[in-house]
Chain A
Amino acid sequence: DGGITQSPKYLFRKEGQNVTLSCEQNLNHDAMYWYRQDPGQGLRLIYYSQIVNDFQKGDIAEGYSVSREKKESFPLTVTSAQKNPTAFYLCASSTTGQGPNGETQYFGPGTRLLVL
């Protein structure tokens, strides 16, 4: 099955702890993204990467870090500096091709992060 997988589905974080959310895709997409969704709200972009070994901050990057060592993987670390990490985290991927069918973003199932 082609698609995007995120793990775990639920994650609990203790105060002062860093946690890493996994995102893997086998769609051969160059671009990957991390969004955060709070209850009743839309999605906000945390980080995105258009190519391996390169990534850019989105609107709410503070308290988060990412890496892109492989095309298939784009893990997100929620650091202790993120004071309000409880949210639903969504990973997406897309091609970077020009034209009307390029760049459509496809989403994973999400990880719900809760602070203990």
Chain B
Amino acid sequence: DAKTTQPPSMDCAEGRAANLPCNHSTISGNEYVYWYRQIHSQGPQYIIHGLKNNETNEMASLIITEDRKSSTLILPHATLRDTAVYYCIVRVLGSGAGSYQLTFGKGTKLSVIP
């Protein structure tokens, strides 16, 4: 799976949009971009994933650049409950034994400030 690079920390004012960047310059054509978050002392929570088109769900939007070398997770109206570590992961689906492993890096610690 391709390696990702994320800033170690970010701040966002409550009610504003939080834009979390991720670089994955070595991503291959069949690798998906996944985002998870982990609130302190809880299990990771799935947020969204995509291949090349932008995606939106009830939690967030995922914007993937045309060359797929970077992406941005957008939380449109951040709340204090969104304070967490956000992980960007790229992975291949369905490629046999070992393909299921999620490789979590250190992520971005997002602090939402009142």
Contacts and interface: CB of A to CB of B under 8 A. Distances in A.
Interface of A: 4, 6, 31, 33, 35, 40-43, 45, 48, 50, 56, 58-59, 88, 90, 92, 94, 98-100, 102-110, 112
B102 A43 contact: yes
A56 B46 contact: no
A14 B98 CA distance: 33
Nearest to B93: A103
A88 B38 CA distance: 13
10 contacts: A4-B43, A41-B106, A42-B104, A42-B107, A43-B102, A56-B98, A92-B43, A98-B93, A107-B44, A112-B41
Contact of A100 (B32, B44, B97, B98): B32
B45 interface: yes
Interface residues of B, number: 23
Given A31-B100, A58-B101, A103 B46 contact: no
Interface string B15-27: 0000000000000
Chain B contact surface mostly: loop
A103 B45 CA distance: 14
A105 B34 CA distance: 10
Nearest 6 CB-CB pairs, A to B? A42-B104, A107-B43, A43-B104, A98-B94, A45-B101, A107-B44
Interface of B: 32, 34, 41-46, 49, 51, 87, 93-94, 97-98, 100-107
Contacts of A110: 41-43
A84 B105 CA distance: 21
A104 B46 contact: yes
B87 to A, nearest CB: 8
A109 B44 CA distance: 8
A43 B42 contact: no
Contacts of A40: 106
Nearest to A31: B100
Contacts of A94: 100
Given A41-B106, A108-B43, A110-B42, 8 more contacts: A33-B100, A43-B102, A56-B98, A100-B32, A102-B94, A104-B49, A105-B46, A110-B41
